[in-house]
Structure 1
Amino acid sequence: MKKAISPVIATVIIVAVTIAIAIAVALWMTGLVGSFTGTENLQIVSAYATKNNDGWTIYLQVKNVGTVDVTIDNIFINGVPVSGLTGYVQSITVNGEVQDMSNINIPIGTGKTVNMEIAVKGYVAGQMLEIKLHSAAGKEYPKQITLP
């Protein structure tokens, strides 16, 4: 009489091998998808403010350190979009070009850096402002600046 493994043990072995193969395929697919999708990441390299005649100029240097191009589609000051701060925000300039505050569109290519200047008035010396850059992908990049 020949001995063989029981059907229960054979079923357990088959299920275990199937689960192991499924896990291996899932990990392989995750790595494959990860190599085709990019990551968005902006870095605010420097941020400071200087006093001018009737207000302040906020200087931001923003670098795209991610693997995809990023578009800034809005800027918030203390949680309020700049389009709603017409009495406070005088102008926004990016690399020397004036931005339309009601339709912000600041593209930053991968590895590129932009220099932003935000002219504001109506704030007081010593006040802390939170500047938040909002990307078209929905990410936010905040920075706090104290007015001198």
Structure 2
Amino acid sequence: VAIAIVIAIAVAFWATGLVGVFTRFEKIEITAAYWDGTQVVIIAKNTGSSPAVIDMIFANGAPCITGITSSVSIGGTFSTAFSACEHNAGGSLVTGGVTNEIALHTTSGKTYPVAVLIP
């Protein structure tokens, strides 16, 4: 009986450890996104309980900036500025008073969109 109790306690501690691992999540909140006159500026914060890695920026639904490997720690911030998409990426910024959808993409497959008006 004592062995069964010890095993049950060990399993309970093991299961408690698994709960912590599987309940972590990334959550990127874009705190600012604007056109500063020459480029799009994006500032974001990781408010989740797991680090996040931003690997791409989309513009209007298509890849704009690729090959990024910016790790954002828990509570950390990410900022970037760009005036045009990479030549072969596929996306583009539309000027002339048009609202562009810019999205941060992470290695976990999540996208975090924001609208930026470019005059």
Same fold (TM over 0.5): yes
Asked if 1:35 is matched to 2:6, the reply is: no
Q: Quote the residue 1:111 is aligned against.
A: 75
Gaps of 5+ in 2: 1-13, 85-91
RMSD: 2.2
Correspondent of 1:80 among 37, 47, 62: 62
Q: Quote the residue 2:41 is aligned against.
A: 59
1:81-140 CA-to-partner distances (Å, cap 9, x unmatched) read 01xxxxxxxxxxxxxxxxxx4422111111111221121286322111100111000111
Number of aligned residue pairs: give it. 98
Gaps of 5+ in 1: 1-28, 83-100
TM-score of the pair, normalised by structure 2: 0.72
- Residue 132 of structure 1 aligns with an amino acid whose one-letter code is A
Counterparts of 1:58 and 1:46 in 2: how far apart (Å)?
10
Aligned-partner SS, 1:34? helix
TM-score of the pair, normalised by structure 1: 0.59
Q: Quote the residue 2:8 is aligned against.
A: none
Larger Rg: 1
* Structure 1 moving runs of 4+ over 3 Å: 29-34
